[in-house]
């Protein structure tokens, strides 16, 4: 065994204090072993020798034997560069250097091996900052097998730590690595899952002798990475299983009355099943942590309400937190309506029900609740005079205190950060039960990684009688016929959404797009009433506009994505998405979910520029082809990779994968999770002697800041 894990990176060959500092700051690399854990992102096959005429594209790095014909520097100072002519005896290419010109030692009489990525300039191939090695110094290892390429940063490059620099330093560690490093997976796990040991994996991930060994090495390292994420999540889950939770065994008057007398339709089988699953958790005596997944329109709001009724039957308060004011407002209206059943309207002007006509006392708290209303509301909450509080981030403030909060429901969770959630969790002596609802179908691999410590309930059935939304993709050249279609639909009594993207960096321009669109619609349809809603409006104005549309007073709603989540207007049957190329797939799917909520046939029209990229075309095609949110989410993951999924990873669920890839390594993930389950089976908290290895490695990962963050740590 070697001491690579404790050898300061500064003391490795070719490093020194300055580069060590850069390694530390740029990549958090402290030790020799950390550097060995800095994996190549790809490899170049160096067994092939090229002629200049063989160069085809800019993607593939190539190596060519040849000589330098001549060179000269151009410009002075910062803009200076050195240009050289390199010939393979048949053709000539230009080599260019912008940096480190003084250190270059070029020799006309020598034969060189040129290695680098070609780029095209003025119809000619050239090489910027290629590697030039005198032919007699070319080692066998260099032109054989695969050459690793390493991710680097601008800062690193300035100190010679480009891919080649990193490679040289790692190569210097190989003799010590060969003496062996402590494995991070037990022999039994490696055997059962046919995994390479860590020493061989590290040797072969950096300098693989052949592609089979490279694959085996990468698989082992991916497995390990995913295994520790799963081990951490599952251990948290099991630890929390031992946490006490508020017991809510009773199915009482409120739930039963609602079910028998208020419920306006029959629950779908899927709704019944998830309510049973949730109730089982709520009465278990342990804290619930559950994710409720269901496609848009699957009826999650009703499930949330029925859970709140169960909590109230057991003497606990519930809060529902929504990501936007519009959505909180709408939840409040919907739930108030449901809770009133056939009872008449009670007096307007208060933000809570008086409890006489409504089955539960329900209140709304948002950023636009006035100070006076707020104070009264705080008082009632503390006095236990409110059973169900709905709100936005405003719920999180410290003054918002409950008499006995027992259930937190977080809608469209991915918009909330970790710290914000922690605040909500802390509003009672024990952590309340937590139900996270999401309408963004998440591919299984991502769900397992993001929510691996939550139990999952899925509503996989839509309420009966829904007609699938018909989706069409058009270029803006067809605007006239689309306007005719809008007229047709409105004349049939339907309502229409027209949505524009609003993306932060571009806010001003986007807003102009939206306002232009709005004005054009007014010109085209002078006889219609049109609402407009966007993020820059005052909350009160937004609400007025939304309500007009909701009540059917306006026929068209022009909006930004503020309407993306949750808005429910069953009479709206047309969704027109402008600049659809600028939306991600899951966003498009969310938007489409705003229609198809009534009995009428609904339409979603995706409008794009005439010229679109191949990727955009794929996105439009999958939208047209299917309404299945899970299929769309899978495609999204494949097209864009997990880092980009709408908001999913932006919420402080900070895990970063170094080698595994959630869109392609699903199989490895399944096996890694199974292995983690097996390790924890008889030793859920990793307390035994034989699992010390795993406990220690989890601690190491956490201490390094590279380990997974998860729900467990915030509850
Ligand atoms: P989600 O939040 O899952 O996107 P909602 O809770 O907004 O969906 O429900 C969508 C629509 O379906 C609402 O109008 C709701 O009243 C209706 N709905 C919910 N459950 C049922 C059911 N079992 N039968 C008929 N309609 C239902
Ligand atoms: Mg909803």
In terms of pLDDT, which residue wins out, 228 or 444?
228
CATH class of 470-626: alpha beta
Please give the share of the chain, as a percent, with pLDDT higher than 90.
50
Q: State the Cα–Cα distance between residues 711 and 244, nearest whole angstrom.
A: 17
Q: State the Cα–Cα distance between residues 119 and 127, nearest whole angstrom.
A: 6
Q: Is the dihedral of CA 597, 603, 607, 610 positive or negative?
A: positive
Instruction: Answer whether 70's CB lies under 8 Å from 109's CB.
Output: no
Run of H or E including 217: helix 211-241
- The CATH classification number of 48-143 equals 2.40.50.140
- Best mutation site among 306, 334, 463 for ligand 1 pocket (most ligand atoms within 8 Å of CB): 463
Q: Which long-range contacts (CB under 8 A, 24 or more apart) does 631-634 make?
A: 632/441, 632/585, 632/586, 632/589, 633/440, 633/441, 633/442, 633/443, 633/446, 633/585, 633/586, 633/589, 634/443
Number of other CB atoms surrounding residue 344 within 10 Å:
6
Instruction: Note the pLDDT of residue 647.
Output: 40
How far, in Å, from the CA of 265 to the mean position of ligand 1? 10
Instruction: Note the pLDDT of residue 282.
Output: 95
Residues 138-173 pLDDT 10s: 876 666 678 898 989 999 998 899 998 999 999 999
Residue 507 has pLDDT above 80, yes or no: no
Mean pLDDT score, 674-701 = 90
Residue 123 has pLDDT above 50, yes or no: yes
Greatest mean pLDDT range, 57-61, 287-291, 302-306, 450-454: 302-306
Band of residue 505 on the pLDDT scale cut at 50, 70, 90: low
Q: Give the atom of ligand 1 at the shortest distance from the alpha carbon of 296.
A: 4
How far, in Å, from the CA of 210 to the mean position of ligand 2? 52
Residues 6+ positions from 98 with CB-CB distance below 8 Å: 80, 81, 128, 129
Band of residue 1 on the pLDDT scale cut at 50, 70, 90: low
Residues 421-479 pLDDT 10s: 677 778 888 889 999 898 766 777 777 777 777 888 989 888 888 888 999 999 999 99
Q: Give the atom of ligand 1 at the shortest distance from the alpha carbon of 593.
A: 4
Q: Supply the mean pLDDT for the chain.
A: 86
Q: Do the bridges between strand 433-438 and strand 455-459 make them parallel or antiparallel, or are there none, so unpaired?
A: unpaired
Residues 41-96 pLDDT 10s: 888 877 788 999 999 887 778 899 999 999 998 888 777 889 999 999 999 999 99
How far, in Å, from the CA of 153 to the mean position of ligand 2? 42
Instruction: Answer whether 427's CB lies under 8 Å from 283's CB.
Output: no
Q: Which range (214-218, 241-245, 344-348) has the least confidence?
A: 344-348
Q: Whose CA is nearest to atom 24 of ligand 1?
A: 463
Residues 6+ positions from 546 with CB-CB distance below 8 Å: 326, 329, 330, 531, 533, 557, 567
Nearest CA-CA partner of 598 in 553, 564, 568: 568
Band of residue 645 on the pLDDT scale cut at 50, 70, 90: very low
Residues 566-609 pLDDT 10s: 578 889 999 999 999 988 888 898 889 889 888 889 999 999 99
Instruction: Note the pLDDT of residue 539.
Output: 77
Instruction: Note the pLDDT of residue 711.
Output: 40
- Residue that the structure tokens 């949505």 belong to: 499
Instruction: Note the pLDDT of residue 416.
Output: 58
Band of residue 267 on the pLDDT scale cut at 50, 70, 90: very high
Instruction: Note the pLDDT of residue 210.
Output: 82
Residue 657 has pLDDT above 90, yes or no: no
Q: Whose CA is nearest to atom 9 of ligand 1?
A: 299
Instruction: Note the pLDDT of residue 649.
Output: 39
In terms of pLDDT, which residue wins out, 359 or 275?
275
Greatest mean pLDDT range, 45-54, 324-333, 353-362, 389-398: 389-398
Q: State the Cα–Cα distance between residues 383 and 402, nearest whole angstrom.
A: 8
Residue 344 has pLDDT above 60, yes or no: no
Residue 697 gets the label, from left (phi > 0), alpha (psi -120 to 50) or beta, of alpha
Burial class (CB in 10 A: 0-12, 13-18, 19+), 137: exposed
Instruction: Note the pLDDT of residue 378.
Output: 95
Q: Which range (441-445, 473-477, 526-530, 617-621) has the least confidence?
A: 441-445
Band of residue 105 on the pLDDT scale cut at 50, 70, 90: confident
Q: Which range (208-217, 389-398, 508-517, 527-536) has the least confidence?
A: 508-517
Mean pLDDT score, 380-384 = 95
Ligand nearest to the CA of 324: 2
Architecture of domain 253-459: 3-Layer(aba) Sandwich (3.40)
Pocket of ligand 1 (CB under 6 A): 265, 267-268, 271, 294, 296-302, 439, 463, 566, 568, 570, 597
Ligand nearest to the CA of 595: 1
């Amino acid at each position: 065994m070697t001491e690579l894990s404790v050898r300061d990176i500064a003391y490795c060959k070719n490093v020194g204090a300055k580069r060590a500092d850069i390694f530390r700051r740029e990549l958090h690399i402290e030790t020799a072993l950390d550097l060995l854990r800095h994996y190549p992102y790809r490899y170049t096959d160096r067994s092939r020798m090229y002629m200049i005429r063989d160069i085809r594209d800019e993607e593939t790095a190539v190596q060519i034997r040849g000589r330098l014909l001549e060179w000269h520097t151009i410009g002075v100072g910062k803009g200076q560069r050195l240009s050289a002519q390199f010939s393979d005896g048949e053709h000539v290419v230009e080599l260019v250097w912008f940096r480190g010109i003084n250190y270059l030692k070029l020799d006309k009489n020598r034969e060189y091996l040129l290695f680098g990525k070609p780029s095209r300039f003025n119809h000619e191939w050239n090489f910027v900052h290629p590697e030039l090695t005198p032919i007699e110094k070319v080692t066998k290892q260099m032109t054989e097998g695969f050459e690793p390429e390493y991710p680097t940063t601008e800062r690193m490059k300035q100190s010679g730590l480009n891919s080649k620099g990193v490679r040289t330093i790692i190569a210097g560690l190989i003799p010590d690595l060969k003496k062996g490093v402590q494995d991070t997976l037990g022999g039994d796990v490696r055997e059962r899952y046919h995994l390479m040991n860590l020493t061989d994996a590290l040797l072969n991930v950096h300098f693989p002798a052949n592609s089979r060994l490279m694959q085996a090495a990468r698989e082992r390292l991916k497995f390990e990475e995913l295994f520790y994420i799963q081990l951490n999540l599952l251990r948290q889950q099991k630890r929390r299983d031992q946490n006490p939770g508020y017991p809510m065994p009773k199915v009482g008057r409120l739930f039963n009355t609602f079910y028998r007398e208020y419920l306006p339709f029959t629950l779908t089988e899927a709704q019944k099943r998830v309510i049973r699953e949730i109730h089982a958790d709520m009465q278990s005596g342990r804290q619930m942590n559950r994710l409720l997944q269901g496609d848009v329109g699957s009826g999650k709001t009703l499930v949330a309400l029925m859970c709140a009724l169960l909590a109230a039957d057991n003497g606990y308060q519930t809060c529902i937190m929504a990501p936007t004011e519009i959505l909180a407002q709408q939840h409040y209206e919907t739930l108030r309506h449901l809770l009133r059943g056939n009872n008449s309207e009670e007096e307007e002007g208060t933000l809570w029900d008086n409890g006489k006509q409504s089955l539960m006392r329900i209140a709304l708290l948002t950023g636009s609740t006035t100070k006076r209303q707020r104070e009264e509301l705080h008082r009632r909450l503390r006095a236990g005079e409110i059973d169900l509080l709905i709100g936005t981030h405003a719920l999180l403030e410290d003054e918002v205190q409950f008499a006995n909060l027992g259930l937190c429901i977080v809608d469209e969770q991915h918009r909330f950060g970790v710290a914000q959630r922690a605040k909500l969790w802390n509003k009672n002596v024990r952590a309340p039960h937590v139900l996270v609802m999401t309408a963004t179908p998440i591919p299984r691999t991502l769900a397992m990684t993001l929510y691996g410590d939550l139990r999952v309930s899925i509503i996989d059935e839509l309420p009966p009688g829904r007609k699938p939304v018909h989706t069409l993709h058009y270029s803006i050249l067809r605007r006239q016929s689309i306007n005719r279609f809008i007229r047709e639909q409105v004349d049939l009594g339907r309502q229409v959404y027209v949505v524009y993207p609003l993306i932060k960096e571009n806010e001003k321009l986007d807003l102009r797009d939206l306002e232009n669109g709005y004005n054009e619609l007014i010109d085209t349809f002078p006889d219609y009433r049109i609402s407009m809603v966007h993020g820059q409006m005052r909350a009160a104005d937004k609400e007025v506009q939304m309500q007009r549309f909701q009540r059917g007073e306006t026929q068209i709603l022009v909006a930004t994505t503020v309407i993306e989540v949750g808005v429910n207007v069953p009479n709206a049957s047309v969704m027109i998405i402008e600049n659809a190329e600028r939306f991600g797939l899951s966003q498009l799917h969310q938007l489409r979910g705003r229609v198809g909520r009534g009995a009428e046939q609904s339409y979603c029209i995706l409008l794009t520029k005439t010229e679109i990229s191949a990727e955009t075309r794929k996105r439009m095609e999958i939208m047209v082809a299917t309404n299945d949110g899970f299929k769309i989410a899978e495609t999204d993951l494949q097209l864009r990779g997990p880092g980009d999924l709408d908001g999913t990873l932006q919420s402080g669920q900070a895990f970063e994968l170094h080698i595994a890839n959630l869109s392609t390594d699903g199989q490895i993930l399944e096996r890694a999770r199974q292995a983690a389950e097996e390790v924890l089976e008889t030793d859920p908290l990793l307390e035994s002697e034989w699992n010390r290895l795993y406990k220690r490695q989890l601690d190491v990962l956490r201490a390094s800041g590279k380990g997974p963050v998860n729900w467990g740590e915030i509850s």
